[in-house]
C-alpha cells in the first residue's frame, strides 16, 4: 500500500525557534493534510492543501504541497510551549477518495 | 456542538477476550470512519460508513474485527477474540455529506491494551 515517510521522528527545540518537518511518498497524492494531536485528544486538522505547488499559512504555520505531488512540508515559526504535540501528515491518494493515509508522526517538544 | 465521542477511553483485556468500542459521531454527519494507531506506527484506516452502509472496509485487518452502524448514528467496533497485536489506539472520525474533501473530525480515541 501507499506509505508516507515523515521526518524527523522527534524534535527538541528552544522556545522561539522555527521548526520544519516534511513528508515524502513514492506515490502521488491528491491532497495533503497536516494534523496535530495533543495528549489525550484526537488529531485536529491544521492545514489542508489541494493543488501542487500550493503554499498555505495558518497563523505561525505554513505548509506546501510539493510540485511533484509526492511531498509536503510544514513550518512552524517562533515556537511556543503550546506547540508541543505530535504532528501528522496525511494524504488522499486519489480524487474522490475518503481514505486518509498517515505518516508516523513528528513528536515536538518545546523547551521554555 | 459536541464533537466526536468515544467510549471507553481505555480498555485493558486479556488475550482471547472480547471488547466492543463505541463511537458517537458529530450529529448529522453521514460519514463515519475507524482508524487505528499501533504504538510508534502510522494511523491506519480501517473502514468507512456512509450512514448505515459500509462504503469501504479494505483496512479491516481480519475477520476478528466487526464494525456496525445500525440506524446510521453511532458505531461499534468489536474485536473477538482479541490478540496481542490488536493493542493500540482506535480513533473514530466523522465528516458531513458526501464530499470526500470535507474535513474529518477525530474523536479522542480508545486506548486498547491486550495482555
Residues of B in contact with A100 (CB under 8 A): 35, 43, 45, 104
Query: Edge-to-edge strand order for the sheet containing B65-68?
Result: B5-7, B19-24, B75-79, B65-68
Task: Tell me the backbone φ, ψ of residue B70, rounded to 5 degrees.
Answer: -65, 130
Task: Tell me the backbone φ, ψ of residue B55, rounded to 5 degrees.
Answer: -85, -35
How would you write the pLDDT of chain B (115 residues) with one tens digit per residue? Answer: 689 999 999 999 999 999 999 999 999 999 999 999 998 899 999 999 999 999 999 999 999 999 999 898 999 999 999 999 999 999 999 999 878 788 899 999 999 999 9
Supply the DSSP symbol for A107: E
How would you write the pLDDT of chain A (112 residues) with one tens digit per residue? Answer: 678 999 999 999 999 999 999 999 999 998 999 999 999 899 999 999 999 999 999 999 999 999 999 999 999 999 999 999 999 999 988 777 889 999 999 999 999 8
Distances (CA, A) of A20 to A16, A49, A74, A76: 13, 17, 6, 6
Residue in B30, B52, B51 with CA at minimum distance from that of residue B96: B30
The partner residue sitting opposite A43, judged by closest CB among B58, B59, B106, is B106
Interface of B with A (CB under 8 A): 4, 31, 33, 35, 40-45, 48, 55-56, 58-59, 91, 93, 95, 100-101, 103-104, 106-109
Written as nine digits, the cell of A44 is 485536529
What does the pLDDT read at residue B98?
76
Amino acid at each position: 500500500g501507499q506509505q508516507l515517510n515523515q521526518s524527523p521522528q522527534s524534535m527538541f527545540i528552544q522556545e522561539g525557534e522555527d521548526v520544519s518537518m516534511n513528508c515524502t511518498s513514492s506515490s502521488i497524492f491528491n491532497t495533503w493534510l497536516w494534523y496535530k494531536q495533543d495528549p489525550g485528544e484526537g488529531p485536529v486538522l491544521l492545514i489542508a492543501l489541494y493543488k501542487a505547488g500550493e503554499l498555505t499559512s495558518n497563523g505561525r504555520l505554513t505548509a506546501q504541497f510539493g510540485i511533484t505531488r509526492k511531498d509536503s512540508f510544514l513550518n512552524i515559526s517562533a515556537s511556543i510551549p503550546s506547540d508541543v504535540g505530535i504532528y501528522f501528515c496525511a494524504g488522499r491518494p486519489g480524487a474522490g477518495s475518503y481514505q486518509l493515509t498517515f505518516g508516523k508522526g513528528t513528536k515536538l517538544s518545546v523547551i521554555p | 456542538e459536541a464533537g466526536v465521542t468515544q467510549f471507553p477511553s481505555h480498555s485493558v483485556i486479556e488475550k482471547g477476550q472480547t471488547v466492543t468500542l463505541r463511537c458517537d459521531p458529530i450529529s448529522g454527519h453521514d460519514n463515519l470512519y475507524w482508524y487505528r494507531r499501533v504504538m510508534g506506527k502510522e494511523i491506519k484506516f480501517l473502514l468507512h460508513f456512509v450512514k448505515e452502509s459500509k462504503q469501504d472496509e479494505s483496512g479491516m485487518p481480519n475477520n476478528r474485527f466487526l464494525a456496525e452502524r445500525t440506524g446510521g448514528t453511532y458505531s461499534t467496533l468489536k474485536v473477538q477474540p482479541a490478540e496481542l497485536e490488536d493493542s493500540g489506539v482506535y480513533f473514530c472520525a466523522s465528516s458531513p455529506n458526501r464530499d470526500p474533501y470535507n474535513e474529518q473530525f477525530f474523536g479522542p480515541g480508545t486506548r486498547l491494551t491486550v495482555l
